[in-house]
């Protein structure tokens, strides 16, 4: 197991996408558990989904920061593609660790709105890399995605597998992030770690994710579509497990070493963060329904069968996601393990409190 080489207490950290699901959850964990830390959160707060939800997350962060004397929270509204803004932030704050979670997410949205993905995921990430080059940081951690595995037939997905066949623009941008990070690690000795997240879910999550959008539709009496006729499996990973994994990674930067050519051996790693327990979509929907009834979001006599329809696979989707997390476990002593029912129960309880 690796020995942590970065102490987060007293450090200045940048978290991009801080109003997002993973970003906000990470910021709150850092404020809760680190002493005398300064966290700068950057987010464009765009309207890809309900801005009120992003505002809710930012309010929770601000309230928590008030309770943590010695810790500082700075919220910046801005676009990752604004190179001058990124340069100014790095100049003003001199970040120790950068966690880049800002991205345009969603596979299907990338088919109809490709420009958003090039701006946020390619240009935005390039700006972060350039800033880390000119203002050296101890560690750059960035979000990749399980989507880079495409329609890989070998399961579980290992970070040793080839990932040269993306099936969506979103996946292609995430693979590009990994390639760019590797090049900058090699050229400029920037310690970087990419994290391939597997289907993140939980309270205050993204409304475009299946569990959230299904809930919204069922509550309105609308029909939900279950793709690939229900023959999909997803490695659902609870938000707290994702955040714990990110925090451990932040504290373990790849070591700088010099190769025989006198140039840096890229201080570069990639990990999967997933539950290693793929769930059939039909089983997942059944558990979700049960937990929504338990939380009194749906009535006990809800006719679930009449509100679902099985449909073909959508372009850009894959039939299964399944994480091999052995490297994460070996290096960091951590393996996500929150059961799906427990995670959906917490989501259903939050949903009732927030919306009903």
Supply the residues annotated as catalytic: 170
Spatial contact of 4 and 251, defined as CB atoms under 8 Å apart = yes
Whether 190 contacts 97, CB under 8 Å: no
CA 205 to each of CA 54, 102, 125: distance values in angstroms, whole numbers, following the listed order: 10, 15, 23
How far is the first Cα of the chain from the last one, in angstroms, to the nearest whole number? 45
Nearest to 201 by CA among 211, 214, 187: 211
Joined tokens for residue 27: 């910021």
- The secondary structure of 37-67 as a DSSP string is -EEEEEE---SSS-HHHHHHHHHHHHHHHHT
Distance, CA of 175 to CA of 194 (rounded, Å):
10
What whole-number distance in Å separates Cα of residue 307 and Cα of residue 194?
39
Which three-class secondary structure state does DSSP give residue 276?
A: coil
Give the integer Cα–Cα distance in Å for 145 and 197.
5
Helix/strand/coil for 194:
strand
Tokens matching residue 82: 């604004």
């Amino acid at each position: 197991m690796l020995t942590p080489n970065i102490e987060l207490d007293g450090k200045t950290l940048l978290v991009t996408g801080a109003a997002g699901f993973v970003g906000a959850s990470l910021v709150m964990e850092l404020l809760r558990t680190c002493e005398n830390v300064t966290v700068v959160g950057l987010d464009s707060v765009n309207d890809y989904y309900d801005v009120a939800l992003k505002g809710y997350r930012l309010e929770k962060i601000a309230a928590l920061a008030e309770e943590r004397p010695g810790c500082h929270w700075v919220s910046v509204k801005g676009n990752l593609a604004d190179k001058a803004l990124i340069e100014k932030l790095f100049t003003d704050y001199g970040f120790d660790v950068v966690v880049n979670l800002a991205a345009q997410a969603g596979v299907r949205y990338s088919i109809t709105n490709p420009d958003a993905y090039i701006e946020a995921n390619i240009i935005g990430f390039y700006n972060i890399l350039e800033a880390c080059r000119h203002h050296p940081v101890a560690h750059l951690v960035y979000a990749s995605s399980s989507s880079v595995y495409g329609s890989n037939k070998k399961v579980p997905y290992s970070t040793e597998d080839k990932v040269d066949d993306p099936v969506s623009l979103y996946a292609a941008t995430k693979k590009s992030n990994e390639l760019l990070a590797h090049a900058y690690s090699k050229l400029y000795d920037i310690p970087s770690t990419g994290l391939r997240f597997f289907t993140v879910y939980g309270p205050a999550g993204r409304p475009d994710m299946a569990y959230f959008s299904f809930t919204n539709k069922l509550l309105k009496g609308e029909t939900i579509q279950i793709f690939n006729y229900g023959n999909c499996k997803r490695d659902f990973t609870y938000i707290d497990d994702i955040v714990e994994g990110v925090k451990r990674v932040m504290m373990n930067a790849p070591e700088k070493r010099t190769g025989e050519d006198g140039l840096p051996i890229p201080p570069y790693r990639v990990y999967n963060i997933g539950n290693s327990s793929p769930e059939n979509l039909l089983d997942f929907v059944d558990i979700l329904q049960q937990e929504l009834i338990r939380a009194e979001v749906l009535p006990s006599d809800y006719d679930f069968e009449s509100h679902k329809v099985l449909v073909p696979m959508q372009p850009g989707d894959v039939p299964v996601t399944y994480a091999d997390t052995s490297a994460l476990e070996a290096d960091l002593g951590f393996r996500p393990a929150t059961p799906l029912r427990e995670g959906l129960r917490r989501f259903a309880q939050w949903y009732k409190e927030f919306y009903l």
